Structure 1
Amino acid sequence: MSSAHSNTLAQESSINDNFSGPESRFECPICLAWLRDPVLTSCGHRFCRSCMDSWLERENPSCPIDNTKLEKGVDIFPDNFTRREISQQKTKCPNLVRGCLEELSPLDVETHLLTCQYKPPELPENEKLRCAFVEFGCEDKFEDEPELQRHLEQYIHKHLNLLSQAYSKFTINSPSTSAIAQQANFWDPPSKNDTSVSSNHDNVNGLLKALYEKAVLLEQKTREQDIIIANMSEQISSLNLSMSKMHLRYCNGCYLWYFNDFKNKINAMRNDSRIMHYSPGFYTAANGYRLCIRLNLSPKDPNYIAILIHVMKTEHDNALDWPFSGRLTITLVHPLQPFHNIKETMMTRPELDAFKKPVQDMNPKGFGYTEFALIEELFSQGYVENNHLLIKVQAQPV
């Protein structure tokens, strides 16, 4: 297996490259996808209408690009010229590799994929996920975990009814139940004038009263222990979070990303080419540059995965040298045969926007390989173990 696609070089890539990739003038700086119902600001920047409406709901709204103060209804105008330009753009269906020859507007790709006759086949019945309430009678099956989660959230009443029906099938026929019910007031003291109670009856009542008091004490201790355990769990979670953040800051630019649920995430990205996955941000030093890894399907060939690096904002960016300059190494780790690791090293290019000082939490431009490895070979040659892929990135500033 080649270490990376032979015709693919390290290159700069936008966050939301579609199958054909929008030009920068057709890309919304907020959602980083094709402009939908484009609007133009008084300071000369274009955005999707829905993205801009959401942005202006913030306190003291301003332009995301240059922080110019904006007022809804005054500084926002429809951009019909750009809308016509986008509608005239044509792109091929992402299922081109499976035989679909449709050419359509980029904004119509998502709708077309729902009915495309060349879309990937559904999973076999024996590989589909089953509902967690299958033992109580729910027979629904699902293609992936997000679909299963939506089912669980939408059909709560259905599952409660199944549980109720299952519970009604159980009956309790304990001979002591009625006797205990008759002694429901066993903890009440007997009347002072009642002299007809037998000693045997007194012994039973005394025993039941002692058992009841013991149960109350045990319940109280259980509640106290539950509170202690809850507090300890909260402290452990807080400690784990702190350790995780410490690991990201002191990893010295060497980060291991365990990309879990690989199969389902690949299927989801095939259905929606706009889906992208990002690693947590990691640092080249305690007060160094902050970077993250991005994985998505290649916009040129969806049979390949793309792996790129993004520069992220930190609280100490003013103390760093910009643009970021250094060496970046990306490695796909083979879990059993290290000599089969896929490793690529590239030097940063200071003239690219990808390495400039970020003005938002993450630089929207990434740098890396748009066709890093063939998905089919990742499965067939054992790179995917327990449905996760291990990606190692080393960043060394120079």
Structure 2
Amino acid sequence: MSSHLHNKSENSVAQESSITDNFSGPESRFECPICLAWLRDPVLTSCGHRFCRSCMESWLERENACCPIDNTKLHKDVDIFPDNFTRREISQQKTKCPNIVRGCLEELSPLDVETHLAVCKYKPPELPENEKLRCSYVHVGCEDKFEDEPELQRHLEQHTQKHLNLLLQAYTKFAINTQNAASSSAIAQQANFWDPPSKNEPPVTASDNINGLLKALYEKVVLLEQKTREQDIIIANMSEQISSFNLTMSKMHLRYCNGCYLWYFNDFKCKINAMRNDSHIMHYSPGFYTSTNGYRLCIRLNLSPKDPNYIAILIHVMKTEHDHTLDWPFSGRLTVTLVHPLQSFRNIKETMMTRPELEAFKRPVQDMNPKGFGYTEFALIEELFTNGYVDNNQLLIKVHAQPV
């Protein structure tokens, strides 16, 4: 293994990692149980729990003056005390600037990160208006624009009510237009279509010609509208069939890959920055099979719980409809490879044998085993960028699972 890789820990606890692990976040004693972030202006309750001051004050107003942990009755003027000792401890903690992937080497208190990011000279440049990301609800009237994917995601999470109102307004306009269209259709059904005059009839006047022409044009418009509607229905049905076919082909690829799966991890830079800002974020690949009716596995990527400058790569066993036909616990060889896009000799490849005594390889009782198996410090993020593993903002991970 190259110098920037860490071997598997001999301790099985380090190899197995729960989905709910607090990766690279604050220790539990420094974490606010309400916002799940670093304690800001920490306070201590009379029942012995720590919270951010603003979180606790808002909670007491909303939740009838009870502790959110043990439901003890609290009074905000009597049972809440400043926790200066914890404040000092947090101020002594040091963390890297999230812009380390761009070259910033600043180490600062977790509570100073937001202030530093506003003036960090390595922060991403502001994009011109025509290159910014648009809100997913732009078609119903949301005009907000964003610098990157995490900023867009925060907007979507924080402005749900606004987007619901826009959708309601769009639906109301659509309902009114539909009602008007129905009225026009009823009028068309009542109209008498114009027939050309018989040869034996006397010549018609100019006024009659105009009225007849208008009737003929109206008839053609109605027929064209009906034909357009039929074509729209045909196109919608074909689009649905194509989507269903693509989904089926994707599932077949996962089932018939024979345990060798390539995971194209896109938008790598933005996802790394998002994980630095929120240590709970983890990314999972689709589930792939070791054979047509074999074991089902998936790949997990997140920041290392020991050092957020490294990525962790772990394998999870997933549930299938035929688990009762398989031998448990899963036993075999797992090979993880970080593929270099240009120079194959630079591929980072590690092989590990399963350990049947671990929870990670027992038969799943839910969709995915909560325990994973792999490397908690697989590769240094900075070296992935400098050595060219990230190509077009994409990292390629190959996993080969061979049951034995």
The two structures have a TM-score, normalised by structure 2, of 0.62
Gaps of 5+ in 1: 24-32, 35-76, 81-87, 103-111, 164-185, 190-196
Q: CA deviation at 1:350?
A: 1.9
- 2:355 aligned residue: 349
* Residue in 2 that maps onto 1:287: 293
SS of corresponding position for 1:223 = helix
Aligned counterparts of 2:71 and 2:291: Cα–Cα separation in 1? 45
Listed as ranges, the matches of 1:170-181 within 5 Å are none
CA contact (8 A) 2:283 2:302 kept: yes
Pair 1:124 & 2:125 matched: yes
Would the alpha carbon gap of residues 21 and 343 (structure 1) be closer, same or farther in structure 2, given more than 3 Å must change?
same
Q: Which amino acid aligns with 1:9?
A: K
* 8 Å CA contact 1:292, 1:310 repeated in 2: yes
Structure 1 partner of 2:342: 336
Shift of 1:221: 1.0
In the other structure, the counterpart of 1:18 is 22
- 1:312 maps onto 2:318 in alignment: yes
Aligned twin of 2:108: 100
Q: What SS does the corresponding residue of 1:306 show, helix, strand or coil?
A: strand
Counting only pairs closer than 5 Å after superposition, residues 20-39 of structure 1 correspond to structure 2 as: none
Deviation at 1:308, TM superposition (A): 0.5
Residue identity matched to 2:127 = N
Deviations along 1:342-383, one digit per CA (max 9) or x if unpaired, are 221111122222112222221111111112222223233332
Alpha-carbon distance in structure 2 between the residues aligned to 1:303 and 1:269: 11
What is aligned with 2:371?
Answer: 365
The code of the aligned residue for 2:325 comes to A
Distance 1:352 1:156 in 2: 46
Question: CA–CA distance in 1 between the matches of 2:70 and 2:215?
Answer: 79
Corresponding position of 2:61: none
Q: Are 1:278 and 1:292, in contact at CA under 8 Å, matched by a contact in 2?
A: yes
Q: How does 1:31-50 map to 2 (within 5 A)?
A: none
8 Å CA contact 1:334–1:383 kept in 2: the answer is yes
Secondary structure (helix, strand or coil) at the match of 1:256 reads strand
> Could you say which residue in structure 2 is the equivalent of 1:42?
none
Structure 2 counterpart of 1:341, one-letter code: N
- 1:284 Cα deviation after fit: 0.6
1:294–1:3 Cα change, 3 Å: farther
Encode CA deviations 1:76-111: one digit per residue, 9 max, x unaligned.
Answer: x9699xxxxxxx9x9996825742356xxxxxxxxx
* C-alpha distance in structure 2 between counterparts of 1:137 and 1:22, whole Å: 35
C-alpha distance after superposition, 1:15-58 (max 9, x if no partner): 233246899xxxxxxxxx99xxxxxxxxxxxxxxxxxxxxxxxx
Q: Which amino acid aligns with 1:17?
A: D
Indicate yes or no: 2:255 matched with 1:249. Answer: yes
Could you say what secondary structure the match of 2:396 adopts?
strand
* CA displacement, residues 294-331 of structure 1 (integer Å, 9 cap, x when unaligned): 00011111121111101112222222222211111111
Q: Distance in 2 between matches of 1:152 and 1:7?
A: 42
- In structure 2, what is the equivalent of residue 146 of structure 1? 153
**Matched residues in 1 for 2:371 and 2:26: separation?**
13
Which whole-Å CA distance do the structure 2 matches of 1:158 and 1:312 have between them? 39
CA distance in structure 1 between the partners assigned to 2:314 and 2:308 by the alignment: 15
Measure, in 1, the Cα distance between the counterparts of 2:119 and 2:134.
23
Aligned to 2:217: 211
In structure 1, what is the Cα distance between the partners aligned to 2:305 and 2:231? 55
Q: Which amino acid aligns with 1:124?
A: P
Asked if residue 387 in structure 1 is aligned to residue 393 in structure 2, the reply is yes
Report the aligned-residue RMSD: 4.2
**1-side partners of 2:225 and 2:359: how far apart?**
63
Q: How much does 1:123 deviate? A: 3.1
Alignment of 1:147-296 (within 5 A): 147-150=154-157, 155-156=162-163, 199-296=205-302
Q: Any idea what the Cα deviations from partners look like across 1:172-227, whole Å, max 9, x if unmatched?
A: xxxxxxxxxxxxxx9898xxxxxxx9833333333333222222111111111111
SS at match of 1:147: helix
Structure 2 residue runs without a partner (length 5+)? 10-14, 28-35, 38-68, 73-85, 98-105, 171-190, 195-202
Partner of 1:55: none
